[in-house]
Each structure stands twice: as C-alpha cells, then as structure tokens.
Amino acid sequence: MAAPGPTSAAAPDPSYIGRGVHRFAVEALALRIFDGTYAEGATVDLPQLMAELDVSQTVLREAIKVLTVKGLLDARQRRGTFVRARENWNLLDSDVLRWRVASGARDERLFDELFELRRSVEPAAAALAAQHRTDDDLAALTTALGAMERAGSDPVGLVPADAAFHTALLAASHNRFFVQMQRVMIPALIERDRVVHAGSPEHPLPTHVAVADRVRARDQDGASLAMVRLLDAGRHDHHTTAAGEPAAAMAAARADTTATAATPVAPAGGSTP
C-alpha cells in the first residue's frame, strides 16, 4: 500500500495532515502516541511501524514531519525518532486536540483550562460586541442561532452552529486581538462540544439567545454577565457528561479520528477573520 509523499524539504503546514494513505499514517501514529502505545520519551521502531501500517518509508517519513511540527515527535542522530514530553505537544493545534479526545484518555484539566481561558476572554468580548456591533454582526449571530435551533439535539448540526456563534461574537468585538483568539478557542470548543452534545445536556440555545439579546441592546454589562452564565452552564454540562461517561459521547469522539481537522466556522454573512 505504498504511495509517494511530498518530497519538499520545507516543513509541512501544521494544520495539514494530508489525504489517503498519508493521512492514515499520520492519524495512526498520532493515536498510538495518545493512547500510550508510544509513551513519552519512547523511540519509535520505524521498520516495525512501516510493517504494521503497511506504508512506504516515504509516507512514514512525511507523517513524522507533520507530527514533529505539531510537537509530538522529534528525531536525533543516534537516538532516532522519539515521542516528546507532553509539555511540548501543541494543544493549540486542532488536530492535536481531536486526537487527544479520540484516544479516550481522561484529561479533565484540559477542558477546565479551556474554560478558564474562555471565561477570561469571552465576557469581555461580549461587552465589546455590545458596544461595537454592526448590522452584519447581528445578522451573523442570528444566523448561528437559527442553525442551533434547527439542529435540535443533533450534534452534527449543533456543534458547527455553536462554533459559528462564538466566532461571530469574537468578530463582533472588533478587537483584532480578541478576533485572533478564535484560532485557539474555536477548535478546542468544537472538540469539547463533540463530547458534551453527544451526552444530551440541556440545549444551549436559551443561554446563547440571552447573549445575543444583550449585544443587540448595546448592554455591555448585560452581555458580559450573560456570557458568564453561558460559560458556567457549559462547564456544568461538560462535568455532568464526563462524570457519566455516556457511551455515545465517547463513540462520537472516536468516530471522528479520520474526519477533516476542525477549523473555525465562518458565520453566515461574513468571513472568518
């Protein structure tokens, strides 16, 4: 099952993991790292891995390049290719987050840290959105809410609708630094939502409507408070889902191991910043 891979010596795009056999090799090796098959500091037996995956040396070499860019692997003379310590793994990378969830390994602190980040940024972004929002911003928020309502309890529709809402809210702040935070928060939010919404929590629409209403009314304090309430409700749903470990949630996360890497969702009526 050999296939030629890219021959350029340039480092691959960290958000790109390829297609076909190349993608398969990247995903398979990444999940072996996250499920502990290859522990931190462990040397990867490349000939053995080539045989296990039935891929060519070229394909495996390109897969290693991708995972090296993402902070998972390193290669040195005399030591070979080995797994880097966890603190070097790029958790801001959407693929890394997806693999972390798909591995089934428990890491509640990861999502708690995401909550802490969002709670420091999004209430302030909501207040700025109430101050600076335009008609186009309101249209993008309304479109996302409509998609959320139409999705009902179906995670397939609900997850991208939720991501679109939060992307639109950050854009509505018209603060370029907050807008850029979507690169960190939205991929992580998508991975959290894939687990939470598969666990049938309370529907998130009412808390999102409350934020949009305060933004529309140009109520800065109200928008900030509504966002705090939204985030607190989301954290409660996540902890409830994690405590019960519903099989559907875990299956949903694992089923996406070969899906396209999550990217920020552009709200309708505007482009992703």
Q: Report the pLDDT averaged over residues 144-152.
A: 95
- Torsions phi, psi of 74, nearest 5? -145, 160
What DSSP character marks residue 44? P
- pLDDT score at 200: 61
Q: Report the pLDDT averaged over residues 2-19.
A: 45
| Assigned token pair, 39 | 């522990």
Q: Report the pLDDT averaged over residues 148-171.
A: 94
Reported as a single tens digit per residue, the pLDDT across 210-246 is: 999 999 999 999 999 999 999 999 888 777 766 554 4
- pLDDT score at 245: 46
The yes-or-no verdict on residue 10 having pLDDT over 60 is no
136 vs 269: CA distance, rounded Å: 7
Q: Report the pLDDT averaged over residues 50-62.
A: 95
92 Cβ neighbours under 8 A, 6+ residues apart: 183, 184, 187
- Dihedral sign for Cα 180, 184, 187, 190, please: negative
- Would you say 153 and 203 are in contact if contact means Cβ atoms under 8 Å apart? yes
The yes-or-no verdict on residue 111 having pLDDT over 90 is no
